[in-house]
Every structure is written in C-alpha cells, then in structure tokens.
Structure 1
Amino acid sequence: MTSLPKTMHAVAATGSVPLDDERALLDVELPLPELRPRDVLVEVAAVSVNPVDVKTRGRRAADAPPFVLGYDAAGTVVAVGSEVSLFAPGDEVFHAGVITRQGTNAEFHAVDERLVGRKPSTLSMAEAAAMPLTTITAWESLFDRFGLRADSTGTLLALAGAGGVGSILTQLARQLTGVTVITTASRPETQDWSRRMGAHHVVDHHGDLAASVLELAPGGVDRVFTPSTTGRVPLFAEIVRPFGSIVAIDEDPDMDLRVLKGKSIAWLWESMFTRGVYETPDMVGQHDLLNAAADLFDDGTLVTTLTHEISGLDAAGLREAHAIVASGRSIGKVVVAR
C-alpha cells in the first residue's frame, strides 16, 4: 500500500457568518488524523450534507476556531488502529461518524469501526454517502424507540416525508413492518416522491393537518415521527390516540409536554450520535445496523435517496450543498463527491 501523506485537504467551518460569505467554509490543509485503537482511517470519496451540518455551522460563535463538519461519508479504508477487527485496508465502507470528533468533509476521516458499515455493493460512492445518518436515525426511531417489529400494525405519521430522514424512514416502515404510513408533504413533487418512497397516504401540512390526519385515522394515529417540532405539540396532543407515542429528532425550547399527559402519550427522543458520543455498551449496534441496511440496498428492498450530486469536495461545492439544504425545499439527499 502507498504510504499515507502527513497532511490532507479539508473544508473547515469558521465563525457564524452568512453562507454566501467565503469565510463560512474554507479550504484548509490539516494534519492527517491520528487513529485511536478502534479507529479506521477512511479515504473519503463522497459526503452528504444534513440539516445538522447547517445548524451546527450556523450556531458557531464568530471567534470559534475552524472545525471540520460532515456526518456522512462513503470511501475506502486505508489504515486501521491497533485493536480493529471489523475492517481491513481496501474495504469500501459508509458511515456517519460522531458529532464530537472532526467531521467527514476532508480527504481522510478517522472513525470508530463500531460506527461503520460495509458500503452496499450495488450503490455508487455518492449513492451510499447519502444514506448513513438518515438510515441510522430512521432505523433507531422505528425499531429502538417505537419498538416496531415485522408484525407491527397500526398507523405511523411521519412529518416531512420527502426529507432525508422521512424518505428512508418511510421505506423502512413500509418494507419491514405492517404499519400504515402517513406522511406530510405540500408540493406536488414532494408528495409524488413520498409516495414513491412507500407512503400509503400523503397529507398537506400547509392545510388543516389535524383534520386530514383524523380523516385517515379517526381514533388518532398510533405514532408520530417528527423532525419539525416547533409549535406542534398541541397538534400532536390532538391527533395521537391515547397511549400513543411520539419520536422527535429536533427540539422546541418553548414546548410544554403537559398537554400530552391526559392521553398518556409517550414523548421519545432520538439522536443517532448517542451511541458514539457516550460509547455505549451496544455501540457496535450501529455497525450491525448499517450492514443490515447494506443487505437491504443490495437486494433492492431499499433505494438510495440521493437526488442532487455536486462534483468537487471543496469549500465551493459544500457551500452549494449547504445552501440547498438550508433552503428547506430539497427532496431526498444532497451529496458532494470528488
């Protein structure tokens, strides 16, 4: 194997300045990451941009030191730590990493092997890079938080069905469980996309959402998945049946959950970074999850949600990708590839 360089190209987020300011994301040269015992070093071929990238960049203080963002990648393992047993140099992988370490927007990325899966062989690097964070989030929401299984029934309302998480969550729920999937989308193109992902019903969240949902589920839905919580807790109290449950991946600092008490509605949080940040005993579950998903992509059960590929893994390409995601009108996933 060719010896590795001592430095690498990366894209760093600086202080919280407007995205059209060239200082928002800068091309930089950094030392190659040092490997921890369970780390693999991945030569990155493609990354995707998620709302968490946009939010994290926007929240950085003006005097914060530059930091490499990126929580999705596909690439090839080029080196391994002293205690690695799951991968070897040459393996093609996809992963989402962890928010407390340097991100994937770089030539090379060091990541704990327990957070990495084999890249689906039927997907290109760009198609694979679109999937890790959203697949982990959706999988953990459905099967860990909601506790769904193959024989589960009832109803699931997924807000933002055409978004990155909603697109894969809909596929997983439709293909691997017996629940009826209702999604929200407002534009003809997003409604069509959500149906293609497997939604049984699509309702317009710009209309009377409560009336539309209760027409489909007169007694209330059994479960709600929400990436968009602000101002909606009273709505959830109205449309979720007694003893139902809600999984949220965002937060509304002003929300009051007491309106859910009368129906004994459970409020559950999902963060796909929890296992990696806290190195939980079941941390390897994300490796297993991504490998299981890879099998489902390869046998055609799941399809990539890549819709927009940008060429050039540099500051200009990532600024373009961030702008698309920040617009709130993107469908599926945006990927930047070499």
Structure 2
Amino acid sequence: MKAFVVDKYRKKGALRLANVPEPEVRDNDVLVRVRATGVNLLDSKIRDGEFKLILPYGPPFILGHDVAGSVVRVGSKVRRFKTGDEVYARPRDHRVGTFAEFIAMDEADVALKPENLNMEEAASIPLVGLTAWQALVEMGKVKPGQKIFIQAGSGGVGTFAIQLAKHLGAEVATTTSAKNAELVKGLGADLIIDYNTQDFEKVLSGYDLVLNSQDPETLKKSLRVLKPGGQLISISGPPDPEFAKELKLNLFLNLVMRLLSRRVRKEAKSHGVRYSFLFMRAQGQHLSEITSLIESGAIRPVVDKIFPFEKTEDALAYVETGRAKGKVVITVGE
C-alpha cells in the first residue's frame, strides 16, 4: 500500500511517499480502507520529535491520527463490526498511521461513522471531538449555567468544544480574530474576544473552567480568570504527575513531568484553582456518543480545506501556519 513515511525525527522534516506492507490484522482488529484522514498539529509535533521521550516511534513510521473509511477485514474476535461498515476513529498511540491506504485498529477505538456526514467531514472529527469530550464531559464535568472559556475558538478543537459546551448548557467565551468572529458566533459562542485588540484577562472573570491550548503566558493569565475552585484543563502542556502516572512512565520521566508542571501547579494552588493536563486517548465509546450528537444536529463539522493524498505534505504545512478554520482533511481514496 502507499503511505507517507517519517524516516527520521526532524523539525519540519520531509515525509516520503512509499510502498509499504499492509498492516497486520490482530484478533481484535478491524482493517480499514482509508477514505479520508484529518491533519493535526500533533502530527507535526511527533514528526519533529517533541514527544519522542514519552511517545516513541521507531522510524520509519506513518503519521496520521484521524480516519474515516470502510472495514475490509475483521479479526477473529471482533464482534462489533463487519466488512463493509463505514467507520471513523482516532487510532490509539503506538498504532497511528492514517496517512496511508489502509490501517488496522483495535475495535475498541472505532465507531460507526455518522450517517449524515461524508467521509471527509467524518475524518475531521475524531481527535478534536475526543479532546473536547474528554476535557468538558469526562474531566470538567460541565454543568448547565457554568461559564467556560475556550481558547482559539476557530481552530479544530475550539470549533468542536464551543458546540459541545453549548450542548451541555454552558455560557461560552472564546478568543479569535475579527475575521472569524461570525464563525464562532454561529457555533454558539456567547462572548467573543478579538485577541488582536483585546486582553481576555481584562474582560473575563469568575469562570468555572478554561480549556487552554496556547502558550505558557496565556496559561498563566487563564488561571487568573477562574473563580476559586475553578479548573484549567490544558491540552498544550505542561504535562503533570497525573499524566505520568496514567502513562506508567518510569521514575525519571515521572520526575521530569513533576518539574515541568511545578510552577503552574503552584500558581494554580495560590489562586485556589486546579490545573490538569489532558493528552487525549483513543476511545470508540466516546466517539459513539459524539456520533449521536452529530446525527441529532447538536454538533456539525467545520472543515477548512481538503487536499488530495499526494498533497499530504502541503496539508501538514498549511496546518502549521495556524490559519486553518476548523479542520484540514486529506482525501485518500474514492
């Protein structure tokens, strides 16, 4: 099969289009013919080697964390899916590789594709949808009437998280540029802050939860807009001791995570708020819940651009500009 391969960790390194063997199908696996795949900054960070200490891949390896496609084969123990099913997924860590014609995934990571989405729209959902779900539903336990601040509202996670927070009954504030204000307003944002002309710290106060996706300075300011007892959930770091425990990292890496997050945890404590780091995980059951919301019309995908498979490197470069509104998708097959 054809796939885009990373030959070595290197910042902005080239991907190589190669012919590689089809993936092995284990007993609990479904083999999926990839029809479309989403592109994420996580792909760039893994290629650049930013996560190689905690999430090592042995080059050559295939990038890609979102997939929509059709099941072409199932393992001997698979019970939830059959050949011909249209599915979507975020493959689990160490088994990613959706920039390819086929991928094998554990059935626990997979869900049936929403019937009202095409393949490209479906491929835009898994990583950002699961990130928002695990932040707002699982960790944040968002309740009706709470005030939620979602940074970068026009980005991939932001466009999904705004809609999910509104579905949960929250009042939502977000940051974006003036040109994207109508987009985030249409998704349900109640308060829109133009980051070019406004300082969100001077506008917001008394918030229950912040979903942080930006730099360390933005994170520090975000702690100050929370009310006592509020929670900041960061998807951009720094990783905390709970994350190290979850990944069962060794003592050295455990210490590294503790040191990396020491300052922000201390500052959060001084404000009487909580800090948590989220590194989204694959979860087919959560995706099934998301499917129901999409089919009911509560959430819709936001797709900026669609690239053909041979332009995968261009798609990744476009995502790296930070200008994408919603998600960037690659069409892999007919």
Task: Classify the secondary structure of the residue corresponding to 2:204.
Answer: helix
Task: Classify the secondary structure of the residue corresponding to 2:318.
Answer: helix
**Alpha-carbon distance in structure 2 between the residues aligned to 1:32 and 1:248:** 36
Is this contact kept in 2: 1:15–1:24, CA < 8 A? no
**Alpha-carbon distance in structure 2 between the residues aligned to 1:143 and 1:157:** 15
**Alpha-carbon distance in structure 1 between the residues aligned to 2:273 and 2:264:** 13
What is the aligned partner in structure 2 of residue 3 from structure 1? none
Give the TM-score taking structure 1 as reference length.
Answer: 0.85
Residue 204 of structure 1 deviates from its aligned partner by 2.2
**Alpha-carbon distance in structure 2 between the residues aligned to 1:233 and 1:161:** 16
Q: Name whichever of 39-48 and 260-269 sits farther off.
A: 260-269
Residue 119 of structure 1 deviates from its aligned partner by 0.6
2:125 to 121, 131, 134: 131
1:249 to 2:235 alignment: yes
What is the aligned partner in structure 1 of residue 292 from structure 2? 295
Residue 233 of structure 1 deviates from its aligned partner by 3.7
Deviation sequence 1:257-277 (CA, Å, 0-9, x none): 21211332111222222xx5x
What is the aligned partner in structure 1 of residue 209 from structure 2? 223
Residue 288 of structure 1 deviates from its aligned partner by 2.1
Residue 154 of structure 1 deviates from its aligned partner by 1.8
**Alpha-carbon distance in structure 1 between the residues aligned to 2:219 and 2:291:** 35
What is the aligned partner in structure 2 of residue 15 from structure 1? 8
Residue 16 of structure 1 deviates from its aligned partner by 4.1
What is the aligned partner in structure 2 of residue 33 from structure 1? 23
Deviation sequence 1:222-280 (CA, Å, 0-9, x none): 1100111422343123211101001111114475321211332111222222xx5xxxx
1:171 to 2:163 alignment: yes
Residue 191 of structure 1 deviates from its aligned partner by 2.0
Task: Classify the secondary structure of the residue corresponding to 1:256.
Answer: helix
Task: Classify the secondary structure of the residue corresponding to 1:295.
Answer: helix
Deviation sequence 1:4-32 (CA, Å, 0-9, x none): xxxx111112234564xxx6111111111
Q: How does 1:263-278 map to 2 (within 5 A)?
A: 263-273=271-281, 276=282
Is this contact kept in 2: 1:229–1:248, CA < 8 A? no
What is the aligned partner in structure 2 of residue 5 from structure 1? none
Q: How many residues are treated as equivalent by the alignment?
A: 304
**Alpha-carbon distance in structure 2 between the residues aligned to 1:324 and 1:192:** 22
What is the aligned partner in structure 1 of residue 134 from structure 2? 140
Residue 192 of structure 1 deviates from its aligned partner by 1.9
**Alpha-carbon distance in structure 2 between the residues aligned to 1:70 and 1:298:** 25
**Alpha-carbon distance in structure 1 between the residues aligned to 2:286 and 2:315:** 27
Residue 193 of structure 1 deviates from its aligned partner by 1.5
1:162 to 2:162 alignment: no
What is the aligned partner in structure 1 of residue 255 from structure 2? none
Q: How does 1:87-102 map to 2 (within 5 A)?
A: 87-102=81-96
Is this contact kept in 2: 1:72–1:96, CA < 8 A? yes
Give the TM-score taking structure 2 as reference length.
Answer: 0.86
Task: Classify the secondary structure of the residue corresponding to 2:276.
Answer: strand
**Alpha-carbon distance in structure 1 between the residues aligned to 2:189 and 2:19:** 45
Q: Which amino acid aligns with 1:268?
A: S
1:58 to 2:52 alignment: no
What is the aligned partner in structure 1 of residue 69 from structure 2? 75
**Alpha-carbon distance in structure 2 between the residues aligned to 1:166 and 1:233:** 16
Residue 102 of structure 1 deviates from its aligned partner by 3.9
Task: Classify the secondary structure of the residue corresponding to 1:42.
Answer: strand
Change in Cα spacing, 1:18 to 1:212, as seen in structure 2 (3 Å) is same
What is the aligned partner in structure 1 of residue 312 from structure 2? 318
Change in Cα spacing, 1:32 to 1:141, as seen in structure 2 (3 Å) is same
Is this contact kept in 2: 1:203–1:213, CA < 8 A? no
**Alpha-carbon distance in structure 2 between the residues aligned to 1:183 and 1:233:** 14
**Alpha-carbon distance in structure 1 between the residues aligned to 2:233 and 2:269:** 16
**Alpha-carbon distance in structure 2 between the residues aligned to 1:14 and 1:240:** 44
The CA RMSD measured in Å over matched residues stands at: 1.9
1:308 to 2:316 alignment: no
Segments of structure 1 that go 5 or more residues without pairing to the other structure are 1-7, 215-219, 277-285
What is the aligned partner in structure 2 of residue 282 from structure 1? none
Is this contact kept in 1: 2:224–2:271, CA < 8 A? no
Is this contact kept in 2: 1:33–1:109, CA < 8 A? yes
Change in Cα spacing, 1:133 to 1:36, as seen in structure 2 (3 Å) is same
Q: How does 1:169-248 map to 2 (within 5 A)?
A: 169-175=161-167, 177-185=168-176, 187-206=177-196, 207-214=198-205, 220-248=206-234
What is the aligned partner in structure 2 of residue 217 from structure 1? none
Is this contact kept in 2: 1:171–1:197, CA < 8 A? yes
